[in-house]
Amino acid sequence: MSNKLRLTALGAALAFGLTACGGGGAGSGGGNDTANADPSDLTIGVSMPTQTSERWIADGNNVESQLEDAGYKVDLQYANDDIPTQQQQLDQMITEGADLLIVASIDGTALSSQLQAAADANIPVIAYDRLIRDTDNVDFYVTFDNFAVGQAQANALLVGLGLQNADGSKGSATGPFNIELFAGSLDDNNAFFFFNGAMDVLQPLIDDGTLVVPSGQTDIEQAATLRWQQETAQSRMETLLTGSYNDGTVLNGVLSPYDGISRGIITALQNAGYGPNLTSTPRALPVVTGQDAEIASVALIDQGVQSSTIFKDTRNLAEQAVTAAQAFLEGDEPEANDTESYDNGNKVVPAYLLPVQTVFKDDIQSVLVDSGYYTESEVQSGQAD
Ligand code: BGC
């Protein structure tokens, strides 16, 4: 809460002879005081996990600029994928009087004490893209349809292998194909939604023998990649190749949940003699999926190296976060389109889910360039301007 509002609240309490009472003191975010405030007197704390992945930089920039366009002040912080740093940044936002928090957590279970402090100060909290778990003190969740992301990744793998056509009909290939599975970071609730969504599509084909996982590693715990790190994925891929493919067994496909992980996997595969691309002979690069449409991976898709990615338009997610923030600050409830899927261990958090799009080489122009997400020259150079 801004100083000005704090004084106004205090003034009102004195004028009516009230004593400060529970929860009403330090700013009733979502209550009357912010509802009557000028947006320029309200500060929104935006806590993002890391700047090592492009998507979070884009998210931070989009949220900041859209909030500023709506007239609010913004305190945007990145936490270097370090949990204590994120906790500290949130503590500071709260002490400095933030009126609302938008949080993309590193570890979804590690913020309970910060969020208790936010609740004590009546500061509404919006979980951004990643669910915050094990707390009552999260008011709303804006995200993409994460189960659908996993299903789309698995379908893209099947299309890449020729088992399925892009329209979902049966493809000309019959298999069996050798695949390996990668998952995200186990402290990120999304990792489970992606993996479960993917297995929803893949498990029947593993069961009927169309797909074979030579390493036998089909549990999310075995497939996980702490903090979604590219290097960690590269080294797991190297270990899998040594352990299960040294006898000449050929790997055909890899389920990867995120473009950074995909690039680590591709590097390991190329170092082991696959590729350099999807049509190379004698040993083509396996079909590798992805997520986020990071520019480096979009360039690889354009070059026929990575097979696909899932595009999540972070401009739209930022817009949903801003709409929800505005609703709380004006004393309303934001509109949810899902009130069932996201149980955070304490309660089902009302959510707004956005749709996602699968991108193969042929979709780059229509989905990413025509929508203004990237320019053609960025796709060519593999770098965002
Ligand atoms: C996000 C993904 C992202 C991953 C790694 C997840 O929580 O939903 O879009 O690829 O984190 O940053």
pLDDT tens for each residue of 56-96? 999 999 999 999 999 999 999 999 999 999 999 999 999 99
Q: How many of the other CB atoms lie within 10 Å of CB of 376? A: 12
Residue 209, domain member (yes or no)? yes
261: which 2 tokens?
């992980």
Mean pLDDT along residues 19-26: 32
**190 shares a domain with 69:** no
- The DSSP output letter for 369 is I
Establish whether residue 129 lines the binding site of ligand 1, counting it when its CB lies within 6 angstroms of any ligand atom. Answer: yes
The encoded tokens of residue 110 equal 């590690």
Segment 260-270 shows an average pLDDT of 98
DSSP conformational letter for 42: -
The protein residue whose alpha carbon is closest to atom 5 in ligand 1 is: 228
Model confidence at 32, in pLDDT bands (50, 70, 90)?
very low
My answer on whether 275 and 293 are in the same domain is: yes
Question: What average pLDDT does this structure show over 132-159?
Answer: 98
Poorest-pLDDT segment among 28-42, 137-151, 229-243: 28-42
- Determine, yes or no, domain membership for 6: no
Q: How confident is the model at residue 28 (pLDDT cuts 50, 70, 90)?
A: very low
Nearest CA to ligand 1 atom 9: 292
In a domain, 22, yes or no: no
Q: What is the mean pLDDT of the chain?
A: 92
Q: Give dist(CA 197, CA 215) in Å, integer.
A: 21
Mean pLDDT, range 122-126, rounded to an integer: 97
**How much distance in Å is there from the Cα of 222 to the middle of ligand 1?**
19
- According to the model, what pLDDT value does residue 286 have? 98
- 325 and 253 in one domain? no
Are residue 263 and residue 284 in the same domain, yes or no? yes
Mutation to probe ligand 1, out of 292, 310, 353 (largest number of atoms < 8 A from CB): 292
* 110 shares its domain with 162: no
Examine the pLDDT at 1 and tell me if it is beyond 90.
no
Neighbours of 360 (CB within 10 A): 16
Testing ligand 1's pocket by substitution, the residue of 52, 196, 258 carrying the most ligand atoms inside 8 A of its CB is 258
Res 12 pLDDT > 50: no
Q: Are residues 209 and 259 in the same domain?
A: yes
Give the confidence band of 30 by pLDDT, cuts at 50, 70, 90.
very low
Ligand 1, atom 10, lies closest to the CA of 258
**C-alpha torsion angle, residues 328, 329, 330, 332 (rounded to 10):** 10
162 and 151, same structural domain?
A: yes
- pLDDT, average across residues 328-343: 96
User: For 149-153, what is the mean pLDDT?
Assistant: 98
Q: Give the three-state DSSP class for 321.
A: helix
DSSP track, 267-292: HHHHHTT--SSTT-SSSPPPEE--SS
Using the predicted structure, report yes or no on whether residue 197 has a pLDDT greater than 80: yes
Q: Is 0.85 surpassed by the pTM of this model?
A: yes
- Compute the distance from residue 258 Cα to the ligand 1 centre, in Å: 7
Position 21 scores a pLDDT of 31
Whether the ω angle into residue 49 lies within 30 degrees of 0, i.e. cis, is no
Instruction: Based on the fold, state whether residues 133 and 76 are members of the same structural domain.
Output: yes
> Residue 100 Cα, ligand 1 centroid: separation in angstroms?
23
Domain range for residue 226? 146-312+362-367+375-381
Q: What is the DSSP string of 66-134?
A: HHHHTT-EEEEEE-TT-HHHHHHHHHHHHHTT-SEEEE--SSTTS-HHHHHHHHHTT--EEEESS---S
Contact 101, 70 (CB under 8 A): no
> In this structure, is residue 122 part of a structural domain?
yes
What CATH number is attached to the domain comprising 323?
3.40.50.2300
Residue with the bigger pLDDT between 347 and 16: it is 347
Same domain, 99 and 70: yes
- Quote the percentage of the chain above a pLDDT of 90: 90
- Establish if 92 belongs to a structural domain: yes
pLDDT score recorded for residue 85: 98
150 shares its domain with 125: no
pLDDT at 26: 34
For residues 281 and 157, membership in a common domain is answered with: yes
Name the domain count of the chain: 2
- State mean pLDDT over 356-383: 97
Asked if residue 29 is part of any domain, the answer here is no
Chain-centre distance for alpha carbon 328:
23
Classify residue 7: in a domain, yes or no: no
Cβ atoms of 71 and 40 within 8 Å: the answer is yes
Q: State whether 150 and 229 are in the same domain.
A: yes
Terminal CA-to-CA distance of the chain, rounded, Å? 36
pLDDT, one tens digit per residue, over 273-305 is 999 999 999 999 999 999 999 999 999 999 999
Contact 285, 266 (CB under 8 A): yes
For residue 13, tell me if it sits in a domain: no
